[in-house]
A and B are shown apart, each in its own frame.
Chain A
Amino acid sequence: MSATVPISAYLVLAAVLFSIGVASFLIKRNIITIFMSIELMLNAVNLTFVAFAHMWHQITGQIFVFFVMVVAAAEAAVGLAIIIAIFRTRQTLNVDQINLLKN
């Protein structure tokens, strides 16, 4: 009656999301979208934490996810402020044109 889902299915789903995050991090050229793909990778890792917390019947993994969420919120605030500052000085969001340190 009650069909169960193997934990490895959750882990593979997290791996799919993480790989898509890595691919979009490398492919996207817009700095905001690159920042969003970091959030996607963090979400995939959070899913792994929750799946393992369920597997071991431990609450510690969920606590860890809570702290990851807090740090992600702080990181998003600071990162977006940096993006606004970059746009003010360079007038672009394309990472190929933000190459002041390259030469």
Chain B
Amino acid sequence: MQLALFIIFGLLAVAGAVNFLLQRHPINSALSLVVVMMSLAVLYWSLGAEFLAAAQVIVYSGAIMVLFVFVVMLLNAGEEERTHGSRAAYIAGFPGAAAIFCLLSFVFLTNGKAFGSTDLTSHLTHAVNNIAEISQVLFKDLLLPFEVTSILILVAILGAVVLARKEQ
């Protein structure tokens, strides 16, 4: 079950990310990013993080990507054209990203034994409610940081309104 979920949604996430990279139109890139985020939500759930799976769907693919799609449509963004600068980025971009990927996966795979493996069944029979646990930490131990994030959101709202306002 866990293995099947991982294979299906991991492949879906990678396919969505590759499609995001290859599409030239911003709206197609945005929609394939939604696919990546939804499959990541399923992976969070398979790792025993139900609250984060719901928050991923609601916040990321619900709020942030809708904002992106709104801006793409508002600015009437068309297909991007190839320029000289982008060709230089092709030469530097693919080897750099491949080097980062090789380094990370080398570290992860050589230490793979130490990481162990997931076991959803034991996690669920443990009968720990994920949301109850998170709210205990979030509203008791980390109450001050949680309140500070509300101020951060307020400042972000004000900043967005001020920046996007038409200048007189």
Residues of A within 8 A of B (CB): 2-13, 15-24, 26-30, 32-33, 35-37, 39-40, 43, 46-47, 50-51, 53-55, 59-60, 62-63, 65-67, 69-78, 80-85, 87-88, 93-96
Give chain B nearest CB distance to A78 CB in angstroms. 5
Q: Offer 28 A-B interface pairs, CB within 8 angstroms, sorted by A.
A: A7-B116, A7-B117, A7-B118, A13-B43, A15-B104, A15-B105, A19-B98, A22-B96, A24-B21, A28-B80, A40-B20, A46-B40, A50-B47, A55-B115, A59-B137, A62-B52, A69-B59, A70-B149, A76-B64, A77-B157, A78-B163, A80-B164, A84-B75, A88-B167, A93-B77, A94-B81, A94-B83, A96-B86
Closest partner residue, chain B, to A36 (CB atom): B33
A5 to B3, CA, bound (A): 6
A19 touches B37 (CB 8 A): no
A12 touches B105 (CB 8 A): yes
Which of B40, B68, B90 interacts with A76 by CB under 8 Å?
B68
4 tightest CB-CB pairs across the interface, nearest first?
A: A26-B93, A74-B156, A8-B112, A23-B97
Q: Please indicate the chain A residues that have their CB under 8 angstroms from the CB of B67 in the complex.
A: 76-77, 80
Which of A30, A54, A66 interacts with B77 by CB under 8 Å?
A30
Q: Please indicate the chain A residues that have their CB under 8 angstroms from the CB of B143 in the complex.
A: none
B80 touches A8 (CB 8 A): no
A-B Cβ contacts below 8 A, count = 252
B2 touches A53 (CB 8 A): no
B92 touches A66 (CB 8 A): no
A3 touches B51 (CB 8 A): no
A9 to B30, CA, bound (A): 26
Which of A15, A20, A71 interacts with B108 by CB under 8 Å?
A15
A55 to B104, CA, bound (A): 18
Q: Please indicate the chain B residues that have their CB under 8 angstroms from the CB of A59 in the complex.
A: 130, 133-134, 137
Give chain A nearest CB distance to B121 CB in angstroms. 5
Which of A17, A47, A69 interacts with B55 by CB under 8 Å?
A69
A1 to B90, CA, bound (A): 46
A36 touches B20 (CB 8 A): yes
Give chain B nearest CB distance to A70 CB in angstroms. 5
Given that A30-B77, A59-B137 are known contacts, is A70 also in contact with B152, CB under 8 Å in the complex? yes
A78 touches B17 (CB 8 A): no
Q: Please indicate the chain A residues that have their CB under 8 angstroms from the CB of B137 in the complex.
A: 59-60, 63
